[in-house]
Structure 1
Amino acid sequence: MLGTNPDPTYQNVPRPAKSAKWRIPQERMKPGPGVPHRHDNHHVPSGEVEAQGLGPCCTRTGVLLLLLSLCVVLLCGVTALAVLYGMKTSEERSNAVLGPSAERCSLDWESYGGKCYHFSHDTFDWTAGRDKCVSMGGQLVIIESREEQMYITEKCKVTLDDFWIGLTDSEREGHWKWVDNSDLKNITFWHRGQPNNSGGINNIYVDGEDCAIMRYVEKTELHWFDQYCAQLNKIICEARSR
């Protein structure tokens, strides 16, 4: 019977195995150069890492280049400091020889007490002399101390010439003012009997004497005289040192 006696023809035929799911192999992430595989547990030697192409800063050559660059920068800095020190030392030597601010005065000007002075060779009337000083960046001298008076006196003593200073009473007789419009105060060096507003010999100066000069006189510090403003004299200009 069919149900009890199977056909011997099929008895030796092997039965198919249970189908198994086909698994697609997972492709492992390919590591980049010099990066160890994520599944590897061993340590990659540093030399091998360098050989696989890390940046130059991590290599011996990169370190050497960095050190060389630092040396160049340091050398430039030291050189700059040496130059600045040399300039400062040179300036100090100049000050020691020439005096403070001497090198800051223009040609044909002399330094004294933080100011520059110009003693002219040409002669001018007082107004033209005032304008000449202004054109050179200064003004007719304003004498503010005994020390300054003595310095100018020594310069006038050399030539024995009369020099205009920046003092006048041309606006109001007897009211002496400096060229910066400040009043003449306690420091004065009028010679004995000055100012006298004289008209000169035979009173030829009908307008009087309304401008002041420096005139060297022996055995005294008092060298100011009033004089006719149209008279031709040398000038003393002053300017602040730069």
Structure 2
Amino acid sequence: MFLKYLVICVFISVPSVNCCSTGFVQYHDKCYFFSHTTASWAQAGATCQQFHTKLAEPRTVGESDFLTSHSQSTGKTYWIGISDILEEHRWIYSSDMGVITVNNFFPGEPTAHTTENCVALYMYHSLHGMWADAACVDDFYFVCEEIRGASNPEVVG
């Protein structure tokens, strides 16, 4: 079984990058877990932290496109680690409070000013996995991103 896993790892991973933990999906040097349960944005972030991960923070167009594509394939709306909770209209990554480096908001989004401060890969209406602001208390699925260098616990669920 180990040899089978090792062979698969060698063929599907980027050179010098470890394979992802069970349940995670690899994109380049990052591993993502698409949840099977829903939670508020804060609860989703806390759940990710329990597994030594964080809400996904797309920092390149490629990462954003990968997350959008995967969310489209599931037909679900997913929380990601971006908000303007601290300062209205200043969209930041939740892990380091850095201003976002890519923007995949659907045209016309964000829309709700102070009532919607968290970002989701939105599947409702015609958004098809593009970003939209939503009320942080809404329950959506969520995407966790492996924190590189951290131990890789197995995630079940």
Does the pair score TM above 0.5?
yes
Is 1:167 matched up with 2:82?
yes
Query: In the TM superposition, what is the alpha-carbon distance from 1:196 to its structure 2 partner?
Result: 1.2
Percent pairwise identity: 23
Question: Which segments of structure 1 move beyond 6 Å, counting only runs of 4 or more?
Answer: 217-222
Q: Match for residue 155 of structure 2?
A: none
Residues 216 and 223 of structure 1: CA distance in aligned 2, closer, same or farther (over 3 Å)? same
Among 30, 38, 50, the residue aligned to 1:135: 50
> Deviations along 1:131-150, whole A, 9 cap, x unmatched?
00010110000101111112
SS in 2 for 1:226: strand
Is 1:235 matched up with 2:148?
no
Residue 168 of structure 1 contacts residue 177 of structure 1 at CA under 8 Å; is this kept in 2?
Answer: yes
Q: Match for residue 110 of structure 1?
A: 25
Among 145, 149, 152, the residue aligned to 2:64: 149
Q: Match for residue 125 of structure 1?
A: 40
Residues 222 and 186 of structure 1: CA distance in aligned 2, closer, same or farther (over 3 Å)? farther
Q: Which has the higher helix share?
A: 1
Larger relative contact order (C-alpha < 8 A, sep ≥ 6)? 2
Residue 68 of structure 2 contacts residue 129 of structure 2 at CA under 8 Å; is this kept in 1?
Answer: no
> Deviations along 1:169-217, whole A, 9 cap, x unmatched?
112211221111332244211111111126xxxxxxxx60010000248
Letter in 1 for 2:93: W
Query: In the TM superposition, what is the alpha-carbon distance from 1:102 to its structure 2 partner?
Result: 7.5
Letter in 1 for 2:31: C
SS in 2 for 1:104: coil
Residues 145 and 210 of structure 1: CA distance in aligned 2, closer, same or farther (over 3 Å)? same
Q: What residue ranges of structure 1 are gaps of 5+ in the alignment?
A: 1-86, 199-206
Q: Match for residue 190 of structure 1?
A: 105
Task: Tell me, in whole angstroms, the C-alpha distance in 1 between the residues paired with 2:52 and 2:98.
Answer: 22
Q: Which has the larger radius of gyration?
A: 1
Q: Which has the higher strand share?
A: 2
Residues 220 and 99 of structure 1: CA distance in aligned 2, closer, same or farther (over 3 Å)? farther
Residues 166 and 97 of structure 1: CA distance in aligned 2, closer, same or farther (over 3 Å)? same
Give the TM-score of the pair, scaled to structure 1: 0.53
Residues 216 and 107 of structure 1: CA distance in aligned 2, closer, same or farther (over 3 Å)? same
Among 213, 216, 219, the residue aligned to 2:120: 213
Task: Tell me, in whole angstroms, the C-alpha distance in 2 between the residues paired with 1:102 and 1:157.
Answer: 26
Q: Match for residue 92 of structure 2?
A: 177
Residues 219 and 179 of structure 1: CA distance in aligned 2, closer, same or farther (over 3 Å)? same
Give the TM-score of the pair, scaled to structure 2: 0.80
Letter in 1 for 2:36: H
Is 1:94 matched up with 2:8?
yes
Letter in 2 for 1:97: F
